[in-house]
Amino acid sequence: MPELKIIADEKIPFLSEFFSTLAILDTLPASEINQKNIKNYDALFVRTVTKINDKLLEGTKIKIIGSMTSGIDHIDRNYLRRNKIKLLYAPGSNARSVAEYVIASLLVFAKIKKISLKGKTIGIIGAGNVGTKVAQMCEAIGMRVLLNDPPKYNRTKNKKYLSFKKFSDADIITLHIPLTFRGKYKTFHLIDEEFLSTIKPGTILINTSRGAVIDEKMLIKFRKKLGGLIIDVWENEPEINIELLKTTDIGTPHIAGYSLDGKFNASYIVYKKLCKFLEIRPNIKKNDVFPEINEKKDVLIIQNDIFNTLCRTILQIYNPLNDHKNLFRMIGFEPRARRKYFEDLRRNYPVRREFPNYVLRMSDRLSSLQKLVEIFRSLGFKIEV
């Protein structure tokens, strides 16, 4: 078999570590991935910013697409099937990253609004890798969880998957669904005028899935009905709706899944899948490339207040308001500069590590706060007494 030639988006992390021994590896900026530049390669590795379709691939030698992403709505799968092009991607790779974003956003929102999350009901639309992880974390901090997932319900008939009608009592609704445009389970503009008119006033809405699962015009129309709005994904990225951004409590540039751990997981999953496809035994171990950091953080216990202790600890590790403030700056830009700014925020996103990389050092009052310890462990932290 001739040596494989891979062309890849230069911003995909760990490319050399995983793929340089399997193939001739070249990289390009995402903006330069076009038909001309990829035509003589066997495999193309991309992120969500690159649309994979006939316009890009027709007339090229590409027979393998590697997408270092959990979602694949940027890929024309029918075209790939018709042309016998193998698709490798990484479902679930950034599930923890997105779930941590949701928890951190809820904590900071609750702190700002001076409300308690304990006992609040959160409706999770989509119970896949991300939705399941969000459910686990929300239950850990004392929230009541409702699940909606019509495909899973129809497969399993499990009554834990509820209809939208049961979400009318939810205090918070969070979206974790793929973007699909047709079929029985179409999600394009799932959150529409009808849906928004039926939720109770004061509901907090969170979207970290794909922008187009919400009809943004209707969202703006119903904004005053909502008690809070946390948006990470937008229709027509990177040319996002500035009027919608202005109304958000937390608005970020599609980075919920952008932990370094999540990016590593995506590359590692695609590496293992490529090895399997090539009938090669993987010879690179996870810890060889990406060891845990085990960074230590002191937990300042605030007057036996579990919520404020959680909030203070987690926000020193990741505070989504920093991303919100960075995105908000684009409001003052000229329209033509906004697109580049949005892309630059994603392209140059700072390193963010997930909770299991941190060791929390507790005070000697540990015995009186065993519940707090259990919560931190449920969220993935290590504990040092």
Residues labelled catalytic: 210, 237, 254
Strand partners, 122: 145, 172
Give the CA radius of gyration of the chain: 22
Phi, psi angles (nearest 5°) of residue 346: -75, -45
Q: How far apart are CA 104 and CA 311, in angstroms?
A: 8
Q: How far apart are CA 327 and CA 230, in angstroms?
A: 13
Pairing between β-strand 121-125 and β-strand 86-89 as defined by DSSP bridges? unpaired
- Could you tell me the two tokens for 174? 């969070």
Q: How far apart are CA 77 and CA 52, in angstroms?
A: 9
In 3D space, the residue among 138, 139, 158, 140 whose CA is nearest the CA of residue 149 turns out to be 158
- Nearest 10 degrees: Cα torsion 238, 92, 382, 109: 40
- Could you tell me the two tokens for 322? 């920093």
Evaluate whether 36 touches 54 at the Cβ level (below 8 Å): no
Compute CA distances 272 → 46, 221, 327, 373, 385, whole Å: 16, 46, 35, 36, 38
